[in-house]
Amino acid sequence: MVIPFAMDKWAGFLFCLSALCFTSAELIVPTLQLSSGGNIPVVALGTWLGHRPKGKVVQVTNDTEQAVIYALEAGYTHIDTAYKYGIEDQVGRALTKKFSEGLKRESIFITTKLWNSFHEREQVVPALRKSLENLNLEYVDLYLIHWPIAMFENDTLLDNVDFLDTWRGMIDAKKLGLTKSIGISNFNQEQIQRIIDSGLEKPSALQIELNLNLQQPELFKFCRENDIVVMAYTPFGSLFPSKAQPDAPPPRIDDERLVGIAQKYNKTVPQVALRFLIELGAVVLPKSVHKERIEQNIQLFDFSLTPEEFNLLKSFDTGYRTLPQTKWSKHPDYPFQLA
């Protein structure tokens, strides 16, 4: 299989093309090297169902469990989840099933996250142990602080725990072997710099919203310079009209220019958007519970964008954020700038 990459777009990121492979799918998933050691696959199944304009999507039945099974059978080597999603147990059941069929634990990369109500240093290890119990695993490959914002257990009152203390708890968890790598999610550049300046272990990864409308080039450049892998949640942004807010900027999936690129490569517009983010240097986290879409979302390595196509997709960056979480904007560690 040909896996073309324009390496000048990566500015130092290393692809390990001896990546994990599922013979059944005959698919090689490239990886990026983590500063803490090991490699992270550049495509993960996202397991958070997200929001629609009318509110949060509610998990029903065993959709996530079946989605993870579909993903593993399609050749995914990375599953991204979180305690707060409330579905770690479903991910765990799917993993247990596939392990019983011969899948090796070391061939799968698992990411999960620490929720805001467990930010005290002494809470971090027990919180991870609970996630491991849910997942039926002895360790995860990557553990992230979900937000820099601390909250009390009822999730309604904001707490003032210093996220450096939370980070020390993450280091404790790594030393215990409960996670191979540690990182952060939804932190801004100033907050990351504060961790670096503290002299504590540097985060291996940062998970942020990243899509055509929100490309965050300055934060991306900062992470690249500090050897921090960027992971892209909500990679489709507002492409789908059913999920776009009324004020969301274009494009949508019926944009003629994007449709033309997709048709050229016999791909879908969402596949083109994912390919663009990978060529930026990100790990993408597309989410779906539909078998066909899950399979499509990893078929990204048999084409590459021309410089003209790449620049067109780059031009859609407006800084529009689909998940600003303004309800937390009064917290001193709120990470985003409000318009």
Backbone angles phi, psi at 317, to 5 degrees: -70, 115
pLDDT computed for residue 60 by the predictor = 61
pLDDT computed for residue 8 by the predictor = 36
Across residues 174-188, what is the average pLDDT? Answer: 98
Across residues 67-78, what is the average pLDDT? Answer: 97
pLDDT computed for residue 156 by the predictor = 72
Say whether pLDDT at 2 is over 50. no
Q: Which residues, in sequence order, are bridge partners of residue 51?
A: 56
DSSP states of 112-145 as a string?
EEE-GGG-SHHHHHHHHHHHHHHHT-S-EEEEEE
pLDDT computed for residue 61 by the predictor = 78
Q: What pLDDT band is residue 14 in, cutting at 50, 70 and 90?
A: very low
Query: Rounded to whole angstroms, how far apart are CA atoms 307 and 325?
Result: 35
Q: Which residue has the tokens 């067109």?
A: 312
Say whether pLDDT at 51 is over 60. no
Across residues 97-118, what is the average pLDDT? Answer: 97
The better pLDDT of the pair 12, 165 is held by: 165
Task: Give residue-wise pLDDT tens across range 205-255.
Answer: 999 999 999 999 999 999 999 999 999 999 999 999 999 999 999 999 999
Say whether pLDDT at 266 is over 70. yes
Task: Give residue-wise pLDDT tens across range 16-39.
Answer: 333 333 333 468 899 999 999 999
Report percent pLDDT > 90 for the chain. 84
Across residues 309-338, what is the average pLDDT? Answer: 95
Phi-psi region of 31 (alpha: psi -120 to 50; beta: other; left: phi over 0): beta
146 annotated as belonging to a binding site for a ligand:
yes
Closest C-alpha among 273, 288, 284 to residue 238: 273
Q: What pLDDT band is residue 181 in, cutting at 50, 70 and 90?
A: very high
Say whether pLDDT at 140 is over 50. yes
Across residues 124-147, what is the average pLDDT? Answer: 98
Q: What pLDDT band is residue 137 in, cutting at 50, 70 and 90?
A: very high
pLDDT computed for residue 22 by the predictor = 30
Q: Which CATH architecture has domain 31-328?
A: Alpha-Beta Barrel (3.20)
What residues are labeled active site?
85
Across residues 120-142, what is the average pLDDT? Answer: 98
Gyration radius (Cα) of the chain, Å: 19
